[in-house]
Structure 1
Amino acid sequence: MALRPVQVNIKALDGRAVGRFWAQALGWSAFSPGVTTYVGPAVAGAVRGFDWPDPVFLGIDVVPVPEAKTPVKNRVHLDLATTSAAHHEELVARLRALGATPVDVGQGDVPWTVLADPEGNEFCVLEPREVYRDTGPVAAVVVDCVDPRDMARFWGAATNWTPLDVSDDHATFRSPGGGGPHLEFLRTPGVKTVPDRLHLDLLPYPGDDRAAEVDRLRALGATDLDLGQGDVPWTCLADPEGHEFCVLSLP
């Protein structure tokens, strides 16, 4: 039994605007059937403009909320991949033209660029790295944590993703099929103090039982989470360090 990460959920005051930003930033399509805006790799003829769940890439699901982002740095963020120094420069310029702004999160003198989307969600545009050569536009989903080894234990058991590297300082996973972004846990000073503005959504495989999967996650150390979601067809949980995530129902 295992769950597959299928999308990154982003909370936003203006979900449509933030969804448009990320669609244009990644060169993907945006689909807004209601209040929620879905973003994914463009596929000709697909009902949404893209397939869901995509077999390789993690989509983005932008959900409107009434609360603005706090000044506290998000403990979950996206890293974007580049293929050359020229691509890095061009991408940063294009993102700033779309409404991204430079931010200082204490990174110092580094070869990557730290930006924030129009509502202040931090993300990084990485310098070219061979390890991300085949990820697509999103190199990694990065989670700040206190104990990468414990996060690796939980998330490795929760999903079927393959551990690439696990140490006291970081842990990295990737879909067993290859392709798509890495999932990385980074030892970071401090502890989680506010709800995550970004979180992962997981989906059971066809034929698996969602309730049984949720029970399995609880046995691994996940805790139930009440975000005021009410009666919904998904389950909100938190991992052992309090990072929120959702287990969705099969479409």
Structure 2
Amino acid sequence: MTVARFKDLCVDVTCPLAMTDFWGHLLGLTSPADNPEVLIGDRPEKTVWINRVPEVRTVKQRVHLDVVTSSIEALEKLGAKVLSPISDEQQWAVLADPEGGEFCGFVRESVPSYKLMELVVDSADPEAQARWWAGVVGGDVKTKPDVPYHWLENVPGLPFSYWVFVPVPEPKTIKNRIHWDVSADELRPVLDAGATLLRAKDDEIGWHVCADPEGNEFCVFLPRPAEGEGVA
């Protein structure tokens, strides 16, 4: 039995207006006139919040997005920089956004309007991470005999095909610049599953900030109290 549902994505940036424009074109999402620092699609789960933070990117991101595109040149025209091109050994290009954040581009003959293909998370133990998140938000854990990574598919509400956990040797050292939010009826089952509470909701934020077993931050949104009810 799952205890939460995927809600949306968040990207930390230092220049929200420029990065909202970049990610909007990259993913095929739009920004409403009354809120220029959020990207929306045709369903709530496709929402991407562009969050201003004071710190700049300093290390390789442990969470990145993979997108589909008609050509790598099209991504460069948006402002991306190629870090590692497509080759015989690598069927995708590694790129950087205008603030240096890594993402991967996969060239396809047919490109949908919504271009996010998968969410990728660096992990010390990809199988354990995939199984933990499957227990929290649902989905099927998949792998292949000849690959070191695991992934989730068929996750309820997930607005992209795959949620991938890949092995890396280096440990997590700083806050992730990309994270995801979930919605839940209660916080306690999420904590009982093994999440750590980093910050409870308070007068400044209306959600709980948690971390998964490998320290990846995510936010938990609970139902708003009905009018006239107190706040727990």
Give the TM interval when normalised to the shorter protein.
Answer: 0.7 to 0.9
Within the candidate set 211, 223, 231, 1:238 is matched to: 211
Q: Structure 1: which amino acid aligns with 2:115?
A: P
Q: Verify: 1:99 aligned to 2:99, yes or no.
A: no
Shift of residue 127, structure 1, vs aligned partner: 4.0
Conservation of the 8 A alpha-carbon contact between 1:158 and 1:217 = yes
1:99-178 map, 5 Å: 99-104=79-84, 109-128=89-108, 136-165=114-143, 169-174=148-153, 175-176=155-156
1:117-157 Cα shifts (integer Å, max 9, x gaps): 1111100002449xx99894111000000101210221011
Unaligned runs of 5+ in 2: 225-232
Q: How many residues align?
A: 220
In the TM superposition, residue 18 of structure 1 has moved relative to its aligned partner by 0.7
Q: Please tell me whether the aligned partners of residues 66 and 104 of structure 2 are also in contact (alpha carbons under 8 angstroms).
A: yes
What is the rounded CA distance, in whole Å, between the counterparts of 2:112 and 2:130 in structure 1? 23
Query: Which range moved further: 3-12 or 172-181?
Result: 172-181
- Structure 2 distance, partners of 1:32, 1:232, is 23
In the alignment, does 2:60 pair up with 1:76?
A: no
Judge conservation of contact 1:222–1:238 (CA < 8 Å) in 2: yes
Compute the RMSD of aligned alpha carbons: 3.1
Q: After the TM superposition, which parts of structure 1 deviate over 6 Å for at least 4 consecutive aligned residues?
A: 132-135, 227-230
Once residues 153 and 230 of structure 1 are traced to their aligned partners in structure 2, the CA distance between those partners, rounded to angstroms, is 34
- How many angstroms apart in 2 are the aligned matches of 1:108 and 1:242? 34
In the superposition, the TM-score normalised over structure 2's length comes to 0.82
Note the C-alpha offset of 1:162.
Answer: 2.8
The 3 A distance-change label for structure 1 pair 240 and 62 is same
Distance in 2, matches of 1:229 and 1:66, equals 21
Question: What is the CA–CA distance in structure 2 between the aligned matches of 1:237 and 1:249, rounded to whole Å?
Answer: 13
* Partner amino acid, structure 2, of 1:155: W
Does residue 37 in structure 1 map to residue 37 in structure 2?
A: yes
The percentage of aligned residue pairs carrying the same residue is 30
- Distance in 2, Cα, partners of 1:162 & 1:104: 31
Q: Structure 1 residue 215: deviation in Å?
A: 1.3
Q: CA contact under 8 A between 1:12 and 1:68: conserved in structure 2? A: yes
In the alignment, structure 1 residue 218 sits paired with structure 2 residue 191: yes
Please give the TM-score of this superposition, normalised by the length of structure 1.
0.76
